[in-house]
């Protein structure tokens, strides 16, 4: 599932071999959304480009923390820190993990943190057919809604890898694709101080920060988050969930 860089490189190589090119959005796969019944069961069509930076407020400074790969046993500690510092974040969850963490998911949402879609089991989406991509998103949306939570308005493709074809499936499902502008690489476990320093020195107004609450031991992420919230809070930053993901 993780780490991102190694698996993204592998996915890119395999995808290139199969005739797909991540950066161009072109594909040799003839399977189109129009021929894909599951892919076209949509509530709305989103045509906006993938989002790498969040909106900047007219006054003040805001950072958008995002967490991938939960829910996990580390999620409650992250949610508690957010609450303690009057902060919010956007959570992109893996659908297959919800069944054993239903209470955690609900508590995360009830604390004001929107729950959004990170697929069912974290595949490289451009390697899938349109039906496969749609199934990843639809199953996760259903699992989230089964907990009494709203239909996700945003998705994040695993490893940040997408093509225009794969993104088109999420568009047709009414979701906005969210990437990031600052990657903490916390999955590498470089130490809490390193993770915190990357955000404390690298974040700017409107930055979307990528962190992880699942996918492995996230104790360093939890420790780093405390420093991030304290340090940047003292600099006048606030921490908000992405408004388009509510």
Q: Catalytic residue numbers?
A: 68, 212
The β-bridge partners of 90 are 66
Non-local CB neighbours of 60 within 8 Å, separated by 6+ positions: 236, 238
CB of 115 within 8 A of CB of 141? no
Q: Which two tokens stand for residue 146?
A: 């089964």
**In 3D, which of 91, 85, 129 has the Cα closest to residue 113?**
91
Q: What does the angle CA 210 – CA 23 – CA 53 come to, to the nearest 5 degrees?
A: 35
DSSP state at residue 39: G
């Amino acid at each position: 599932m993780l780490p991102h860089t190694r698996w993204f490189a592998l996915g890119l190589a395999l995808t290139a071999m199969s005739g797909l090119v991540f950066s161009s959005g072109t594909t040799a796969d003839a399977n189109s959304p129009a021929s894909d019944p599951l892919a076209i069961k949509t509530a709305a069509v989103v045509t906006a480009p993938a989002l790498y930076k969040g909106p900047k407020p007219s006054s003040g400074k805001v950072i958008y923390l995002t967490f991938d790969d939960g829910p996990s046993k580390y999620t409650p500690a992250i949610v508690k820190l957010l609450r303690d510092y009057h902060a919010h974040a956007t959570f992109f969850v893996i659908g297959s993990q919800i069944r054993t963490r239903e209470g955690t998911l609900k508590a995360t949402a009830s604390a004001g943190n929107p729950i959004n879609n990170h697929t069912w089991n974290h595949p490289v989406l451009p390697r899938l057919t349109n039906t496969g991509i749609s199934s990843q998103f639809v199953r996760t949306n259903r699992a989230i809604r089964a907990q009494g939570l709203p239909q996700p308005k945003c998705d994040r493709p695993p490893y940040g890898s997408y093509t225009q074809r794969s993104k088109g499936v999420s568009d047709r499902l009414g979701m906005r694709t969210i990437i990031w502008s600052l990657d903490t690489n916390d999955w590498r476990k470089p130490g809490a101080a390193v993770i915190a320093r990357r955000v404390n020195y690298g974040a700017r107004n409107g930055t979307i920060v990528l962190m992880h609450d699942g996918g492995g031991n996230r104790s360093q992420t939890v420790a780093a988050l405390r420093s991030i919230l304290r340090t940047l809070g003292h600099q006048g930053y606030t921490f908000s969930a992405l408004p388009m993901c509510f």
